[in-house]
Amino acid sequence: MMENKDENKPIKKVDGRKNNGGHSTKGRAGRPPKITEKKLRNFAVSAIKKAYGSEEKMWLEVAKQAKESFPHMKMLLEFTYGKPKEQKEVNVKTDINIPIVNFLEERTIDITPEEDTDEPSTTEPKV
C-alpha cells in the first residue's frame, strides 16, 4: 500500500481520470469570437494591400489568372456569386395500397352454427 507521510492526513486514492489522455473541449467548442474573425480579416486585408497595392488590384490579378487556371476561376466565381447549392434529386413513390376500413358502418357477423341437411349426421349409427 501507499505510505502516508503525514499520519494525520488520510490516504487519497488516485482514480486515474485526471491524466487519462482525454481532451477537454472547454473553451474551444463552438463558434470563434467575432473579434478573432475581425482581426484575421484585418491581417488579410493588410497583407493584400502590401502585396498588390489594393484589394481591387488583387482581384484583377485573380481574374487574369482565372482565364487559364480553373481553381482561380472557381474562387473568383464563388466570391462573386456565392457557392452553388447542392441539389439532390428525390423520388417519392406515391402509389400506396392502404386498405380502407369503415368504422361507422354497422356490420354484424353472424356466428350461429349452420346445420347441413345434405350430409348424414355423425352421431347416428350407420345401418
For residue 104, the tally of other CB atoms under 10 A from its CB is 4
- Return the pLDDT at 33: 84
Residue 21 reports pLDDT greater than 80: no
The better pLDDT of the pair 101, 12 is held by: 101
What mean pLDDT, rounded, does the chain reach?
Answer: 79
The identity of residue 17, as a single letter, is R
For residue 75, the tally of other CB atoms under 10 A from its CB is 14
The better pLDDT of the pair 25, 74 is held by: 74
Closest CA to 79 of 57, 63, 95, 103: 63
Confirm whether 45 is domain-assigned. Answer: yes
Question: Cell triple for residue 99?
Answer: 386498405
- Return the pLDDT at 93: 77
Read off the DSSP letter of residue 83.
Answer: P
Q: What is the pLDDT of residues 72-122, one digit of tens each?
A: 999 889 988 888 888 888 887 777 788 887 778 777 777 888 877 665 555
Q: What span, in angstroms and rounded, lies between the C-alpha atoms of 57 and 49?
A: 9
Residue 10 reports pLDDT greater than 80: no
Count: domains in the chain: 1
Confirm whether 122 is domain-assigned. Answer: no
Q: Which residues contact 119 (CB under 8 A, 6 or more apart)?
A: none
Confirm whether 55 is domain-assigned. Answer: yes
Confirm whether 62 is domain-assigned. Answer: yes
Average pLDDT for residues 5-16, to the nearest whole number?
66
Read off the DSSP letter of residue 34.
Answer: H
Residue-range definition of the domain harbouring residue 40: 34-81
Confirm whether 65 is domain-assigned. Answer: yes
Question: Cell triple for residue 74?
Answer: 472557381
Confirm whether 29 is domain-assigned. Answer: no
Confirm whether 64 is domain-assigned. Answer: yes
Read off the DSSP letter of residue 6.
Answer: S
Confirm whether 27 is domain-assigned. Answer: no
Polymer length of the chain: 127
Residue 68 reports pLDDT greater than 90: yes
pTM of the model: 0.41
